[in-house]
Homo-oligomer: A and B are copies of this chain.
Amino acid sequence: MALIVQKYGGTSVGSTERMKAVAQRVLATQKQGHDVAVVVSAMSGETNRLLGLVKELTDRPDDREVDVVVATGEQVSIGLVAIAIQTLGGKARSFLGDQCTIVTDSTFSKARIKSIDAKNIFKALKQKEIAVIAGFQGTDEHGNVTTLGRGGSDTTAVAIAAALKADACEIYTDVDGVYTTDPRICPAAKKLDKISYEEMLELASLGGKVLQIRSVELAMNYKVPLWVKSSFSDDPGTLCCEEDESMEDVVVNAVALDSNEAKIAVFGIPDGVGIASKIFGALDEKAIVVDLIVQNVPRDGKVDLTFTVGKADLVKATDVVKKIAKAIRADSVETSGDVAKVSIVGVGMRNHSGVAARMFEVLAKEGINLEAISTSEIRVSALIASKYAELAVRSLHTAFGLDAKRAKKK
């Protein structure tokens, strides 16, 4: 008998029909003798519908109130999924963030979980009830509703799994696992049976969209075995776990594309100490995450600074940057959403040199210009014009032998 946390994403609970299928799967797991806690997202499209209503009012809403609005999406799901389970004869009980008890900090729209008191969940499981938990949300110490950011339900699931010391955390989604790249872009993409936490972390941070990055961090820190599975099939899925030796043989394990970043360029900054820290400090204060950063060498006493932020933060970030640009007398600020970040990832890179050079060579051969570059021990990323995004992914997938892998195994 094990304790299993299952998380179902928006498409898995996208209609009452699908909720019934979720209820069946949950009860089947319980029937195998396991205790089951279920974390659910909002029905697909619901969060966007709610954000659309907010957008009808203003482009710069108060984050506290936005959280009050969007947190309802998951609340609707837990009630309905609990009812679906009960309708099939099971016992179920829904839990809102403050009922299970998920305490976060007060960074509205991007809150971080500070603590979980799983007492009430344990009580439900003891009574053989399925605990149906609202993903994506919590309450801060003042009782305000907070949300964890896009994909936050994954984080809720792993955090709950860690708090319950669960034997496994299964993330059910509309794909049957983690692929070497997005199969919609590259039909030769192949499902991975296993991936290390670190690689998954890089993929998540690159907008792989399968898992929220913080959920992978949490899983790594608490060594929670994390499965990515499809709620529409019985495929075993991909296991995300600690690195083992077999993984190191492969130099590049995946090619990732992130189209969710936007570029901000500040031209003609009078060269001086502390200007970068001024800009990035101000962005950090607004909880805006900056990714790639490029600064050229000074020319005529002036420098240009280019960096990327999430597309959703572009309006807010531009406000901040323009204010500072004026104060420091920079020449101009330009922004663009027409960029894409393409990356290669693999723990094997640690033991192989020349991987970055090979990547740039492949892109150059296709005539693709690099606007910025960033690397980690197991990843190389390049910012390119968005029109080349798919071409870049396919070229790299082929060049690093990921296409071939599929053919071999078949």
Contact = CB atoms under 8 A, between A and B. Distances in A.
A70 to B, nearest CB: 8
Contact of A75 (B19, B71, B92, B94): B71
Quick one: copies of this chain in the complex?
A: 2
Q: Classify the interface of chain A: helix, strand, loop or mixed.
A: helix
A268 to B, nearest CB: 35
Interface stretch (A81-89, A253-261, A288-296, A328-336): A81-89
A69 B76 contact: yes
Q: Which of A62, A67, A83, A87 has the most CB of B within 10 A?
A: A83
Interface stretch (A3-11, A50-58, A365-373): A50-58
A20 B56 CA distance: 10
Given A20-B57, A83-B54, A83-B58, A143 B99 contact: yes
Interface in A42-80: 50, 53-54, 56-58, 61-62, 64-69, 71-72, 75-76, 78-80
A122 to B, nearest CB: 16
Contact of A54 (B50, B64, B80): B80
Interface residues of A, number: 39
Given A65-B94, A68-B96, A94-B68, A57 B80 contact: yes
A403 interface: no
Nearest to A61: B83
Contacts of A66: 79, 83
Given A16-B57, A53-B16, A143-B98, A62 B83 contact: yes
A217 to B, nearest CB: 29
Interface string A11-43: 000001101100000000000000000000000
B98 A76 contact: no
A69 B65 contact: no
Interface in A222-237: none
Contacts of A17: 56
A72 B68 contact: no
A161 to B, nearest CB: 23
Nearest to A84: B57
A26 to B, nearest CB: 14
Q: Which of A57, A64, A75, A144 has the most CB of B within 10 A?
A: A57
A178 interface: no
Contacts of A71: 75
Contacts of A56: 16-17
The 6 closest A-B pairs by CB, nearest first: A69-B79, A72-B72, A68-B79, A16-B56, A65-B79, A58-B87
Interface of A: 16-17, 19-20, 50, 53-54, 56-58, 61-62, 64-69, 71-72, 75-76, 78-80, 82-84, 86-87, 92-94, 96, 98-99, 143-145
